[in-house]
Structure 1
Amino acid sequence: MFGATKDFLGKPAPPGYIAGLGRGATGFTTRSDIGPAREGPTEADIAKLQEQARRKAAENGDDDDERYQDPDNETGLFNTAPYEADDEEADQIYDAIDAKLDERRKSRREAREKEMQEQLNKERPKIQDQFADLKRGLNAVSTEEWENLPEVGNIAGKNRKKANLREKFAPVPDSLLPRAQEEMATTLDAQPNGLTTPAPGTMTNFREIGEANKQVLGLRLDRMADSASGQTTIDPRGYLTGLNSVVVKSEAEIGDLKRARLLLKSVITTNPKHAPGWIAAARLEEHAGKLTDARQIIDKGCVECPKAEDIWLEAARLNNTENAKKILANAVKQIPQSVKIWLQAAQLETTPKGKKTVIRRALDYVPNSVKLWKTAVELEDDPNNARILLARAVELVPQSVELWIALARLETYENAQKVLNAARAKIPASHEIWITAFCLQEANNKDVEKLVANAVKMLSAMESSLSREQWLEEAEKCEKNGFINTCQAIVRATVGMGIEEADRKSTWMEDADNAIGRQSYGTARAIYAHALQTFPSKKSIWRRAALLEKAHGTPESLEELLMRSVNYCPQAEFLWLMGAKEKWVRGNIPGARAILDAAFEANPNSEQIWLAAVKLEAENGEHGRAEILLAKAREKADTMKVWMKSAVLKRQLNKISEALELLDQGLVKYPTADKLWMIRGQILMDRGDTQKARENYIKALKSCPKSVPLWILASRLEEKAGMLTKARAMLDKARLLNPKTPELWLESVRIELRGNNANFGKAQMAKALQECPSSGLLWSEAVWLETRAQRKGKVVDALKKSENSAHVLITAARLFWSDRQVEKARSWFQRAEKADSDLGDAWAWHYKFEVEHGDEARKNDLVMRCKAAEPRYGEYWQAVSKDLRNAGKSLDDILILTAASLPSNTVA
């Protein structure tokens, strides 16, 4: 159907046919038509044809084809329908809606058009907009400035050289050489006795021509590179270095230089007495690499501005040393009072004698310059000459504190006192002179207490007196310089200035903390000493002072402080125990016993003192004395901890029956003491009595349902007995009674892992992290449950969720350790130690790492830091430290044993 040929395609068009007439087209002809151009149809013809078309459409029943319908004109559609009032109302409503929508969009449209216009103005600004600010500034130009503007001349083409076309050469291509050869041969053949014309068909060898050109070029390069002796005169390395030093400026930089040059030229032409303009113009030429032009410009500037010292200094800088000396010689003739020029001239001298000559000449013109006098003194090697100069300097410049102090330091003790007295007479408000006098007295073993008090009193009466904070800063400076007595005297005299009585203690403690933070321990010690004189019965001040002495003092000073502290605060158990421990650490066991005996008299019912005495005797092998002390302690200080220590000591001595008896008596008095129940259960387990141990834990959990360790021990008992289901049920019950407890969830996960049920263990871990999302203990275990490729990604999430928990930091360090990234692993172990210094597992893992990858120095340093931190808890740490076989061992031994008990860090 579609492939059939239309019947009208081969027929001529009807008369008067015009293509597209129904769409409003009109006929036309072109010059390509054969014959003369024809006129188009007239209006009468068009009207006749349209009438015929309408009549034909009416006959066919289609008087308005929708192809010819105007979509904006409904006349053709609703021509026959009447236009009523409701139609008019509808049109009005639609018009109102259109107007409302247009009004709503008007502000947006105008803002968008305005923004587009501003963007267009930024991208393609008009010339008048670029110079608008400059045009506004023209109203300030005076008539004289307008008249002084230089005339603009026509210099276009002035320096342009005319092109000489005859002097231009171009290399001849190789294709022309054979043609010239043929022409040359033809010319010679035409002459008598000429050469024979080459045989026809001869081909030109272009390869030989190219090789010949290369040889000629090589000979030329060799001739340029080699000297007469045959050695190369071009240094390739130096040549390349010189190329690196060449600065190739872009067109933008060159344009900026030209604009800046014109601007600065206008500045120095308009105001030739403006020295900064000359300096800027010279530096511009220096930046452009035209040093000669820069020197010429600065020379003109020196002529125009002979009284500006900066322009002379700039001229000296731009010239070499010899010329700079001449320039500065002219400068001092113009400005003999300029200290900067004299000092610069002295620096140009190469010998000390020349420098001294210049400086002394300068002092003749500027005798009151402190800089010149200080420079002159510094140039002197002989102290006597320096003292003579300073004596003359203080006569001419009596208000200079620095010169007086320098002179006093060069004098003897007696003369220095006279100098400082004279200085105080000239400058009575200078605290520097007074402080120098204090240090002078201390240096000569004199008492400075009264002198400091009088000085502070006199200076406080003046308007320019120092505040309390400023005096404390001066005290710290004295401490840094080694004058401890002066520092302490200043603190005692000024630390109480301007403080209300109610705020004294808190303010002094804050001052001491700030001084310790700045490592001014002598100042902090003096503040504590003054505070203790005011508040001798405050235990917190004694504690702070004792900790400061322990960290930064000597054992003797700490012992002396503790002896004084217990006299004022006999009920302060911490001070007694600290004193006894210091004696014990130093190996003075009788001295420690003596201190504890005195502590017993002052605090007969103190649990801590009794237990300290027991520990002292037990760890030194005096078990009999320790048992006697514990028996007395159970009478005088009847506490749960005393009963627990008694049972532990009996257990260590292998007196199991007596230990169980003590535990039974203790549980009668303290049935909610979970530690007593745990010790009893462990003893029963060690004896192999599983049933009694189970009964013990059942009773214990009824009395202590909130004790997490009891639930874990009871669960492990059932697991060890083969009752895995019962152990799970016990942990489930424990989590109900103790929600959001990470230790219980961790035990639930591990019990599945020990039972070879890894999938259920991972499911338990997912639940655990939902209930305890910030537990570092759980996140650390969750990392090891992942595959090796996923662990690093997991540890990143763990660090974010656990807020850098020490457990997660240890895990991250172990991952780096397994990847052989030693330095990273070490830094992460150190971060873990700082995050929680009480966590013994962090120290143990770090020590195990240093055993494998460190040296003796690192291991010893780690042990010292661990002993200072005294860690107390940790899964592996407590398992080793509380083991009966390790009773009485030192902390460093516990560290080594804990590190040895850790599992291998091999990553699966």
Structure 2
Amino acid sequence: MFAATKDFMGKPAPPGYIAGLGRGATGFTTRSDIGPAREGPSEADIARMQHQAHRKKEEGDDDDERFQDPDNETGLFNTAPYEADDEEADRIYDSIDTRIEERRKAKREQRAKEREEAEGGEGPSIKDQFADLKRGLSAVTSDQWESLPEVGNIAGKNKKKENRRDFFTPVPDSLLTRGREELTNTLDAKNGLSTPAGTMTNFREIGEANKQVLGLRLDRMADSASGQTTIDPKGYLTDLNSVTHKSAAEIGDLKKARLLLRSVITTNPKHAPGWIAAARLEEHAGKIGDARQFIEKGCSECPKSEDIWLEAVRLNTVENAKKILSNAVREIRQSVKIWLKAVDLETETDAKKTVLRRALENVPNSVRLWKAAVEMEEDPNNARILLARAVELVPQSVELWIALARLETYENAKKVLNRARGKVPTSHEIWITAFCLEEANGKDVDTLVANAVRRLSMMESALTRDQWIEEAEKCEKNGFIKTCQALIRATIGMGIEEPDLKSTWMEDAESAIVHQSYDTARAIYAHALRTFPAKKSVWRRAILLEKAHGTKESLEELLARSITFCPHAEFLWLMGAKEKWLGGDVPGARAILDAAFLANPNSEQIWLAAVKLEAENGEHGRAELLLQKAREQADTMKVWMKSAVFKRQLGKIDEALQVLDEGLIKYPQSDKMWMIRGQILVDRGDNQKARENFIKGLKSCPKSTSLWILASRLEEKAGLLIKSRALLERARLLNPKTPELWLESVRIELRGGNQSMAKALMSKALQDCPTSGLLWSEAVWLEPRAQRKGKIVDALKKSENSAHVLVTAARLFWSDRQVEKARQWFLRAEKADGDLGDAWAWHYKFEVQHGDDNRRDDLVRRCKAAEPRHGEHWQAVAKDLKNVAKPTEEILVLTAASLPSNVVP
């Protein structure tokens, strides 16, 4: 069927045939693919080479250059002589190699440092820590290398030999079951395991029992003191973070510092600061033992340095510190610091006293030791005895003399202070102590103070005037007022020229007030008033001081003296009458005003004050009579205006118009009288006469902003919006850069529903008045709600923190329910302008909603002190005829109630 041999055997391959291509064998190349190889040596060549090698071996020539080490030149030019030039060349090449190696070393260290910083400073590697040691190996000689001992194999030397006799024998199940039955009660009570009913082995229960027994043992170990763990699982990682890892640079710095300090203490071992620095370096490195060794050596080398002994005490425990101090006091018996440190180390009072007595035996002239000993004594008699001995040994210590005088009786204290003045004649403290002693015993100190100041002024260590004033303030703080006043009287005029007396004294009084030394300021004002009794400004400052920080009696007494020396000072009469009135003494206030009429018959302020006093006390008839006399004797514009206002308040409209007509004939430039007359006519419903009144008033008072606004509102109320706009445009032409006129123009458009025109007018207004807080506040409310915060930022920048803008910012925070921020901005508005009543009213309304009674009461108190008079809403309420003569707190409540209910429009 088949032939015995294949027909292709022995035949050439077809062209392009690749063996194994069908099986994917294409990744190799055979010699046939690249051609025949180079012919090798023939048999004759091989025989010749073997013969030559055998001959060289017999001759001993093994220096075939084919086997020569290229770095070893012993076989090259070994026959040439080695001269000095060759030695110098080798040295030069060696230095170049060393230099290149150093440059590469610097670059390697720089790269290692950069790599360490990039890795976050996790700490130096083992290689970095031993780098200096490896570099030091270059200095090891060959003999030292050869002398190193051979390293033996000590692995497992200390390993416990395995005891072949120890075998593990499994415990039988019956034993485990019996053990579980013995522990049944404990396990049942704690883990609820049940006792098996029979003796049949249950491997699951046996496994559970083993787990429970192990758990019980672990619990007992955890509960016992010996087995209690000291690892806090929560704080473990935190504790690891507290471990300080020193970088390679820090380690290098420590080593350099150690070398430097060792050089210092080696070259100069008697230099104590070097030993202290070395000890502190080791302490910083965390090697407290080395630090103690250094400081101990330092103490032996520098036994006369108290600093090194104190450093040794600091580095050691309390017991060791006591031993160290005992050695220290043997070496330096005169060191006060060492004795005091020894006192601090003692815990019992008797031991402290014992150490102090020994210290005083060795250092009897130390003030610090005597003071410490006196402070330790609880019995005044013992302290007095110690101080008596102390002033004998240390007679130049002023503190000890003064302390002794304070413990003695009055007579003995005088003797002690006299002795002290003899020992220390230049001390002003002893003199001042004597002044206070005399005052405490009811003696007059003026003469004594004058003599003392005169004596001390002749000495080189005399105090200046400012220093005497400081001493007077200290006496006031200690409660010696008479001494303070006597010092001021004796020294206030020292070194001042006469033209500068008043200004200098006023500055001194203001400085004392700032330091809260009110009696000192009072004494300065009293001396100034004796020197300048006719100066009204000095009387005013003194009266304000008494009003703020004095008593009612002292204020009335000062006011009575002031009107005696300055009878023509109207404000002094008015302040005296107001204080009497506020105190409830109306007859006394009338008496003061009657006296004021005699001294100032034509004074407008006194007449109006008398009218106000009678009007607010219900004496309307007397008030009208006073106003009539005032119009005759003090014929002023304000008197006529107040007369018309009072008539209007009483409901006498016709008489009020008659007074206004007469007043306008005399004072046609009074815009307030024109406004009052126009308002009366509007209230009567006579708009035509009111219009004519405003036209005449505007001709006489074209600069009156309020008059223009009233005229415009009259036209707007009548429905003549175009005429109202025209009036305001004319007013802006005559009164440029007036924010109130621009604001009224904007609000007219808003009331008319013309929002776009209002925004256009506001833009022009801000260009004309870029710093007006009134306009910026209104501009914020014209913006959409989302854009108001950005607008308020611009308003605060441009308006220079105007009170109007601050109130607006507070209202915005209020609307966002940010209560604390709103309260802070309301407080800022109060400080910015306390006269703006609207700010107080908005703040009060805020506190009614979000505050408590204490905050509201405090707000009312501050408002009464500020006495605000201006504000759109405030004036509308305060000038209402129904609210005449109401106090400030009621006006505040009414104004807050009249504000819009919504916080933001």
Q: TM tier, shorter chain?
A: 0.7 to 0.9
CA contact (8 A) 1:788 1:907 kept: no
Once residues 245 and 818 of structure 1 are traced to their aligned partners in structure 2, the CA distance between those partners, rounded to angstroms, is 47
Does the alignment pair 1:249 with 2:245? Answer: yes
Question: 1:174 is matched with which residue?
Answer: none
CA contact (8 A) 2:472 2:485 kept: yes
Q: After TM superposition, list the pairs within 5 Å mapping 1:189-338 onto structure 2.
A: 233-237=228-232, 240=235, 243-244=239-240, 246-252=242-248, 253-338=250-335
Q: 1:587 to 1:161 in 2, by over 3 A?
A: farther
Does the alignment pair 1:418 with 2:418? Answer: no
Does the alignment pair 1:526 with 2:536? Answer: no
Q: Aligned residue pairs: how many?
A: 723
CA contact (8 A) 1:225 1:234 kept: no
How high is the sequence identity, in percent, across the aligned residues?
74
Once residues 124 and 513 of structure 1 are traced to their aligned partners in structure 2, the CA distance between those partners, rounded to angstroms, is 69
Amino acid at match of 2:228: T
Does the alignment pair 1:377 with 2:378? Answer: no
1:135-187: CA deviation from partner (whole Å, max 9, x where unpaired): xxxxxxxxxxxxxxxxx97599999996969679xxxxxxxxxxxxxxxxxxx
Question: 1:473 is matched with which residue?
Answer: 470
SS at match of 1:434: helix
Question: 1:760 is matched with which residue?
Answer: 757
Q: 1:391 to 1:648 in 2, by over 3 A?
A: same
Amino acid at match of 2:396: Q
Amino acid at match of 1:889: K
Does the alignment pair 1:898 with 2:895? Answer: yes
Q: 1:347 aligns with which of 329, 335, 344?
A: 344
Q: 1:472 to 1:897 in 2, by over 3 A?
A: same
Question: 1:464 is matched with which residue?
Answer: 461
Once residues 583 and 161 of structure 1 are traced to their aligned partners in structure 2, the CA distance between those partners, rounded to angstroms, is 113
Q: CA offset at residue 249 of structure 1?
A: 1.5
Once residues 275 and 590 of structure 1 are traced to their aligned partners in structure 2, the CA distance between those partners, rounded to angstroms, is 85
Question: 1:818 is matched with which residue?
Answer: 815
Question: 1:447 is matched with which residue?
Answer: 444
Q: CA offset at residue 259 of structure 1?
A: 2.3
Once residues 657 and 720 of structure 1 are traced to their aligned partners in structure 2, the CA distance between those partners, rounded to angstroms, is 25
Q: 2:739 aligns with which of 731, 738, 742?
A: 742
Once residues 148 and 399 of structure 2 are traced to their aligned partners in structure 1, the CA distance between those partners, rounded to angstroms, is 64
Does the alignment pair 1:805 with 2:802? Answer: yes
Q: After TM superposition, list the pairs within 5 Å mapping 1:634-713 onto structure 2.
A: 634-713=631-710
Does the alignment pair 1:616 with 2:613? Answer: yes
1:452-503: CA deviation from partner (whole Å, max 9, x where unpaired): 1111111111111011111111111111111111111111110011111111
Q: CA offset at residue 784 of structure 1?
A: 1.1
1:179-228: CA deviation from partner (whole Å, max 9, x where unpaired): xxxxxxxxxxxxxxxxxxxxxxxxxxxxxxxxxxxxxxx99x99998886
Once residues 720 and 665 of structure 2 are traced to their aligned partners in structure 1, the CA distance between those partners, rounded to angstroms, is 31
Structure 1 unpaired stretches of 5+: 1-32, 36-119, 128-151, 169-217
Question: 1:513 is matched with which residue?
Answer: 510
Q: CA offset at residue 751 of structure 1?
A: 0.9
Q: 1:436 aligns with which of 426, 433, 437?
A: 433
Once residues 616 and 222 of structure 2 are traced to their aligned partners in structure 1, the CA distance between those partners, rounded to angstroms, is 93
Question: 1:78 is matched with which residue?
Answer: none
Amino acid at match of 2:333: P
TM-score by length of 2: 0.76
| Greater Cα offset, 787-796 or 718-727 | 787-796
Once residues 335 and 161 of structure 1 are traced to their aligned partners in structure 2, the CA distance between those partners, rounded to angstroms, is 56
CA contact (8 A) 1:227 1:233 kept: no
Amino acid at match of 1:633: A
Q: 1:726 aligns with which of 711, 723, 727?
A: 723
Amino acid at match of 2:323: K
TM-score by length of 1: 0.76
Q: CA offset at residue 516 of structure 1?
A: 1.0
Q: CA offset at residue 586 of structure 1?
A: 1.0
Question: 1:873 is matched with which residue?
Answer: 870
Question: 1:43 is matched with which residue?
Answer: none
Q: CA offset at residue 789 of structure 1?
A: 1.7
Once residues 419 and 369 of structure 1 are traced to their aligned partners in structure 2, the CA distance between those partners, rounded to angstroms, is 20
Amino acid at match of 1:483: F
SS at match of 1:236: coil
SS at match of 2:299: helix
Q: 1:629 aligns with which of 626, 629, 633?
A: 626
Once residues 368 and 149 of structure 2 are traced to their aligned partners in structure 1, the CA distance between those partners, rounded to angstroms, is 57
Does the alignment pair 1:578 with 2:568? Answer: no
Q: 1:575 to 1:160 in 2, by over 3 A?
A: farther
Once residues 815 and 109 of structure 2 are traced to their aligned partners in structure 1, the CA distance between those partners, rounded to angstroms, is 67
CA contact (8 A) 2:814 2:903 kept: no
Q: 1:752 to 1:261 in 2, by over 3 A?
A: same
Q: 1:601 aligns with which of 588, 598, 601?
A: 598
Once residues 719 and 588 of structure 1 are traced to their aligned partners in structure 2, the CA distance between those partners, rounded to angstroms, is 49
CA contact (8 A) 1:225 1:233 kept: no
Once residues 844 and 124 of structure 1 are traced to their aligned partners in structure 2, the CA distance between those partners, rounded to angstroms, is 75
Question: 1:882 is matched with which residue?
Answer: 879
Amino acid at match of 1:829: F
Q: CA offset at residue 905 of structure 1?
A: 4.1
CA contact (8 A) 2:712 2:727 kept: yes
Once residues 154 and 324 of structure 1 are traced to their aligned partners in structure 2, the CA distance between those partners, rounded to angstroms, is 45
SS at match of 2:235: helix
Q: 1:422 to 1:766 in 2, by over 3 A?
A: same
Amino acid at match of 1:251: S
Q: CA offset at residue 125 of structure 1?
A: 14
1:752-799: CA deviation from partner (whole Å, max 9, x where unpaired): 111111111111111111111111111111111112221121111111
SS at match of 2:334: coil
Amino acid at match of 2:449: V
Q: 1:424 to 1:696 in 2, by over 3 A?
A: same
Structure 2 unpaired stretches of 5+: 1-33, 37-102, 111-137, 158-210
1:600-632: CA deviation from partner (whole Å, max 9, x where unpaired): 110010000000000011111111110000000
Question: 1:183 is matched with which residue?
Answer: none
1:312-356: CA deviation from partner (whole Å, max 9, x where unpaired): 011111111111001001000000000000000000000111111
Q: 1:350 to 1:733 in 2, by over 3 A?
A: same
CA contact (8 A) 2:739 2:774 kept: yes
SS at match of 1:272: coil
CA contact (8 A) 2:222 2:229 kept: no
Q: CA offset at residue 240 of structure 1?
A: 3.4
Question: 1:501 is matched with which residue?
Answer: 498
CA contact (8 A) 2:221 2:228 kept: no
Does the alignment pair 1:368 with 2:365? Answer: yes
Question: 1:569 is matched with which residue?
Answer: 566
1:258-293: CA deviation from partner (whole Å, max 9, x where unpaired): 222222222212211111111111112222222111
Q: CA offset at residue 403 of structure 1?
A: 0.6
